[in-house]
Amino acid sequence: MFEKILIANRGEIALRVLRACREMGIKTVAVHSTADNEAMHVRLADEAVCIGPPPGRDSYLNKAAVISAAMITNAEAIHPGYGFLSENAEFADMVKDHGLTFIGPSPEHIRIMGDKVQAKLTAQKLGIPVVPGSDGAVKNEDDAVKVAEEIGYPVLIKATAGGGGRGMKVAASKSEIREAFKVASSEAEAAFGNGEVYMEKYLGQPRHIEIQVLGDQHGNVVHLGERDCSLQRKHQKIFEECPSPALNPKQRDDIGKIVTTALKKIGYHNAGTVEFLYEDGKFYFIEMNTRLQVEHPITEMITGLDLVREQIRVAAGLELGFSQKDVEFQGCAMECRINAEDPRTFAPSPGTITGYHAPGGRRVRVDSAMYAGSKIPPYYDSLISKLIVQGSTRNECIMRMRRALHEYVIDGIKTTIPLHQAVLDQQVIIDGNYDIRWLERFVADWVRSGSG
């Protein structure tokens, strides 16, 4: 087992990884920008190295600086968390070339899944159901028209290099397709420096359901069930729950089997998430994330597993200590992502937290790096806390989440807590009967009515 791990991230996820290391008796090295000198992950790590000025590209995304920090502190492995360098195949290669271990899948798998066209073709080849669409990239407007005629309107044009929902355009009919193609390609070019796009059938009212997997370097792959992440605003998840209110155990077993069989074929190891849209009882692959996800704690709550611990173990070459039949699901879990944002306009709200009190009690978990007096710099993601609860039933979870949100005090900045409180009062949510379009409509009404 490793003696020392460098954590190439900040905020709650750096702390999350640090906690797993501590519990395994592994020493930690934090890296940080000058904006994070007093951050919790820096205070709690055994060692800390400042790797640059505040902007991400000059610090947390600076590959050479991160690797140098690992070399000078004699760390043996690097955990990338999520975001930043976590899905950067070149970085994973560099880590390996320096004789260090990247705590994640192989650079080859990161590369395949990072290109959305290749990922989809690979998924299809491996027997995973995909959204009907173009075979690979679509070169020009004429081809876009042809593909749309074949798959039928409405269609969605997506960026090959996509991420965060950018470079995505819907065309409802033939009159819109040429314009949509142009806009999607130029948006993709502007956002990713790569204007290549592909096309998919646009699903009207799907849910977003994803399967968590874990594999070792000895050919074992298990799935840890699903997470329902259908509550999204601008393609960003804000709330997740498991199990999905839409699935029964047989559907879970079936899709789980398809995913694990496919990933065994390519020798996938470490944590990964296969994301699907789900409509009328059918799954459609959209992408695979080759890293730990923000919402992993809800899976931990119902399986009793520590995903970061498992990631570290398999990266060190150990076998998964359990098989599929050992994985059991206990009750339900939910997570609210709390962002430093105005809950109505979603404008970022950086600043200093003047007062802080986190909720507690039975089956409540708070993953956050905040404390009274901590500063939220304007340079990074606005996620400041994840409030996670577990319950024997879905109703118990909702009641517990409401009381935990009620207890949560974060003074000095605006947060999205009021939005979560309003959402959890809606009958659609209580019934578990929502799709990926529901939240945007709700937010528009909520803001308009002024009840927020």
Shortest Cβ 156–ligand ADP spacing (Å): 5
Options 60-68, 73-81, 196-204, 366-374: segment touching ligand ADP (CB under 6 A):
196-204
What are the φ/ψ torsions at residue 327 (nearest 5 degrees)?
-80, 120
The dihedral over CA atoms of 334, 11, 418, 449, expressed in degrees to the nearest 10, equals -110
Number of residues that bind ligand ADP (CB under 6 A): 17
Q: Output 164 or 361, the one with its CB closest to ligand ADP.
A: 164
Q: Of the two residues 236 and 421, which places its CB atom closer to ligand ADP in the complex?
A: 236
3-state secondary structure the chain: CCCEEEECCCHHHHHHHHHHHHHCCCEEEEEEEHHHCCCHHHHHCCEEEEEECCCHHHCCCCHHHHHHHHHHHCCCEEECCCCCCCCCHHHHHHHHHCCCEECCCCHHHHHHHHCHHHHHHHHHHCCCCECCECCCCECCHHHHHHHHHHHCCCEEEEECCCCCCCCCEEECCHHHHHHHHHHHHHHHHHHHCCCCEEEEECCCCCEEEEEEEEECCCCCEEEEEEEEEEEEECCEEEEEEECCCCCCHHHHHHHHHHHHHHHHHCCCCEEEEEEEEEECCEEEEEEEECCCCCCHHHHHHHHCCCHHHHHHHHHCCCCCCCCHHHCCCCCEEEEEEEECECCCCCCECCEECCEEECCCCCCEEEEECCCCCCEECCCCCCEEEEEEEEECCHHHHHHHHHHHHHHCEEECCCCCHHHHHHHCCCHHHHHCCCCCCHHHHHHHHHHHHCCC
Quote the least distance from Cβ 154 to ligand ADP, whole Å.
Answer: 9
The span of 54-62, 162-170, 298-306, 384-392 binding ligand ADP (CB under 6 A) equals 162-170
The region of 91-99, 155-163, 209-217, 323-331 touching ligand ADP under the rule CB under 6 A is 155-163
Of 208, 223, 337, 400, the residue at the interface with ligand ADP (CB under 6 A) is 208
Under rule CB under 6 A, which residues in 312-371 are in contact with ligand ADP?
none
Q: How far is the CB of 18 from ligand ADP (least distance, A)?
A: 28
165 binds ligand ADP per the rule CB under 6 A? yes
* Contact status: 152 vs ligand ADP (CB under 6 A): no
Binding of residue 197 to ligand ADP (CB under 6 A): no
**Mask for 38-77, x = binds ligand ADP (CB under 6 A):** ----------------------------------------
Touching ligand ADP, residues 370-409 (CB under 6 A): none
State the Cα–Cα distance between residues 330 and 321, nearest whole angstrom.
19
Q: Which stretch binds ligand ADP (CB under 6 A): 2-10, 37-45, 58-66, 197-205?
A: 197-205
Stretch that binds ligand ADP, among 14-22, 140-148, 159-167, 343-351 (CB under 6 A): 159-167
Binding window for ligand ADP (CB under 6 A); candidates: 72-80, 160-168, 213-221, 295-303: 160-168
User: Is residue 203 involved in binding ligand ADP (CB under 6 A)?
Assistant: yes
Residue 400 designated active-site = no
String marking each residue 427-446 x if it binds ligand ADP according to CB under 6 A = ---------x----------
Among 210, 240, 287, 367, binds ligand ADP (CB under 6 A): 287
The yes or no reply on residue 232 touching ligand ADP (CB under 6 A) is yes
CB nearer ligand ADP, residue 156 or residue 397: 156
Give backbone dihedrals phi and psi of 449, rounded to 5 degrees, phi first: -75, -15
Per CB under 6 A, does 8 bind ligand ADP? no
Q: How far is the CB of 274 from ligand ADP (least distance, A)?
A: 11
Catalytic residue among 111, 207, 252, 291, which?
291
289 binds ligand ADP, rule: CB under 6 A: no
**Cα(305)–Cα(328) distance, integer angstroms:** 10
Interface residue with ligand ADP, options 35, 156, 333, 370 (CB under 6 A): 156
Among 152, 164, 219, 321, binds ligand ADP (CB under 6 A): 164
Residues ≥6 apart with Cβ < 8 Å to 353? 370, 371, 372, 373, 374, 375, 376, 410, 411, 412, 413
Residues that bind ligand ADP (CB under 6 A): 131, 156, 162-165, 200, 202-203, 208, 232, 235, 275, 277, 286-287, 436
Catalytic residue ranges: 291
